[in-house]
Structure formats: C-alpha cells, structure tokens
Amino acid sequence: MKAIEVYPGGLDHLKTTERENPVPRKGEIVVEWHATSLNYHDYLVAIGAIPVPEGRIPMSDGAGIVSAIGPDVTEFKTGDRVMAMFFPNWIEGKPSLRKTIGVSGETVDGYITEMSCLPETAVTKMPDGYSYAEAATLPCAALTAWRALMVEGNLQPGEKVLIEGTGGMSIFALQLAKAAGARVYATTSSNEKAERLKEMGAEMVVNYKEDERWGKTIFKHTGGVDHVLDVGGGSTMKQSIEAAAIGGHIASIGILGNGRKGEITFPKLFFKHLTMSGLAVGSRVMQQAMVNALNVSELRPIIDKSFGFGELADAFRYQETGQHFGKIVVEW
C-alpha cells in the first residue's frame, strides 16, 4: 500500500512510500481510505513546527470503507463507510491524558495512506449520503465547532454567535449555528469573502484589517454575542472578549500568526461574567452525536478545492495562501 511520510525539511521532503498491507487482529478493522482534509495542525506537522518521528504518516482527517474485520468486531462489517477520529482513544467522558495522548497524524499515524488497521472504536460511521471528500472534512473542523457550540456552549435558538475568519471550522460553526436557529456574525479580511458569509446567513461581517477594534464594533451593533469561537489566540482574544455579551461563552480553539501569547483584559473578563473554554476537537460520543444530527439536516460541507494523493505538498502551499473558503481536501 502507498503512504505519505513526514521527514525533516518541510513540504519538499514529504515522501510517498510503500508499506505492507495490514491484517486485522482481535477487535480491529482495516479501512481503505479515500480522502483526507487539511487542518492547520496538519500543516504544522508537515513543515516540522510540530516535531514528529521520521516516517510519521500525517493527516488527522480521513474517510474510507471497511475492507476487512478481525475477530470479535461487533460494530462494523465490510463495506461500511467510516471516518477517522482526531483522538482515537477518546471514546467518551471528560478528556484525560490517557484518552488524548494519541493524536492522529502526530503521535500516531494519520490517514494519507491507502489502508490502516485500527481498533473498531477509533472510527465512526459517515453521515448518510456524504461523499468520502465531504466526510473527510468533519472529524476535526466540524467536530470542534459542534463541541464549542452544542456541547460546551449549549447553544439555544435565537442566541448570537461570532465566528472569526473563513477556515473550515468557522464555516461549519456558521452552518451549525444557523441550523440551530442562532444569529451569526463574522469577521474576515476579504470583502469578497464577506459577501459569501452574508449569502450563507451572517447578519454582519466586519473586515478586521479595516477595523482593528472589531470586537467593540460588534458589541455596539449586537449588544454582545453569546458565543465567540476564537481561532487566533493572543492575536484575537482581546477583541473576542470585547465582542462577548455579559454572561457569554468564549471557546478558545486555535492560534494564528503571533497568537501563541497575548494580552487579556481581565476586568472585562470577570465583570462580563464570561465563561472561557479551551478545547481541542472532541470524543467519539460527540462525533457520533454530530453524525446523528447531520443525518437529519440538509447541511453539507463547503469544499474549496480538491487535490490528488501525490499533491499533498501543493495542497498545503495553497492553504498557506489563505485564499480558501471552507475546506481543502485530498482525494484518491
């Protein structure tokens, strides 16, 4: 089987290799993968910013079909269409070191490979009617948005949600929030993308390059938003706090640019009675709940561009440009 492996030196040193086809043991399944999608985490692995052992297979998203099952497998049969999990050991309950130490595409092999052998608990079924490419966009970006809004945020109809940017997680958050009857506001640096966000249902979009105090602008316009999905860390958190309503919830999800460290206006944090959640993706139970919800909705992922198996480096270079709106996928 073919796989792509990470070696020092960045995108030019991703290597396509041949490995032995896997054979399932007790409780294991073999999945033939057909698609993955790009996340910022995958990009950091590929360029060496997150160190991994030489030869690690990257990519934390995957969608494919069960091609073989081992003894005592009860949940899946050959022919089932499945998708991967970011944390393959986090089945249910609260996160712990034991549950989250395995990270697909980082501490364990990921899914830009023709086949993997996994415990049957390390995947879930795909939503009904989804293509492999569509399903491959869900395990990281969509599940993060689902957890932020539905699990941690307990989103209610009529509440106000702020999304930041037009990456995959933010677009999923917009779609999920609208499907739940919420009101959505957004930021972007592109007037063209702002129009697309409005077409998808965003009531107000602020260009953060033209308005550095966009948090205050959004607060004045809305009276404060109930849920903020902060993707920039230190580069956005101050404005996220400004935008939040009294009693609001901020989900701290990512870091962009120089966002690893930053300033928090603490009086605003506690006099607004804000709840802040740091979160990374979610558990298998959360992913299954999301799939159940998608099965009764008309929500479909927004895929910006698709690349082939041997074009992973090109896909990452396209991601670097920031031109994408929604998800970038690799299909084979």
Per residue in 26-79, pLDDT tens? 999 999 999 999 999 999 999 999 999 999 999 999 999 999 999 999 999 999
pLDDT at 263: 81
Confidence of residue 166 (pLDDT cuts 50, 70, 90): very high
| Number of C-beta neighbours around residue 291 at 10 A | 21
Q: Is 255 helix (H, G, I), strand (E, B) or coil?
A: coil
- Where do the CATH 3.40.50.720 domains begin and end in the chain? 142-278
Query: If you average pLDDT over residues 253-282, what whole number do you get?
Result: 88
| Number of C-beta neighbours around residue 204 at 10 A | 17
Lowest mean pLDDT segment, chosen from 174-188, 191-205, 249-263: 249-263
If 0-12 CB within 10 Å is exposed, 13-18 middle and 19+ buried, where does residue 178 land? middle
Report the DSSP beta bridge partners of residue 303: 327
Contact at 8 Å (CB) between 328 and 304?
A: yes
Considering the entire predicted model, what is its pTM? 0.96
188 Cβ neighbours under 8 A, 6+ residues apart: 165, 166, 194, 197, 205, 206, 207, 208
Query: If you average pLDDT over residues 262-272, what whole number do you get?
Result: 88
- Where do the CATH 3.90.180.10 domains begin and end in the chain? 2-137+301-331
Confidence of residue 255 (pLDDT cuts 50, 70, 90): confident
CATH of domain 142-278: 3.40.50.720
pLDDT at 262: 82
Token pair for 268: 């605003």
CATH of domain 2-137+301-331: 3.90.180.10
- Cα(168)–Cα(58) distance, rounded to whole angstroms? 18
CA angle centred on 104, ends 103 and 108, rounded to 5°: 80
Confidence of residue 194 (pLDDT cuts 50, 70, 90): very high
What torsion, rounded to 10 degrees, do the Cα atoms 22, 23, 29, 32 define?
A: 40
pLDDT at 238 exceeding the cut of 90: yes
pLDDT at 259 exceeding the cut of 80: no
Confidence of residue 86 (pLDDT cuts 50, 70, 90): very high
pLDDT at 304 exceeding the cut of 70: yes
Confidence of residue 139 (pLDDT cuts 50, 70, 90): very high
With tokens 């008309």, the residue in question is 298
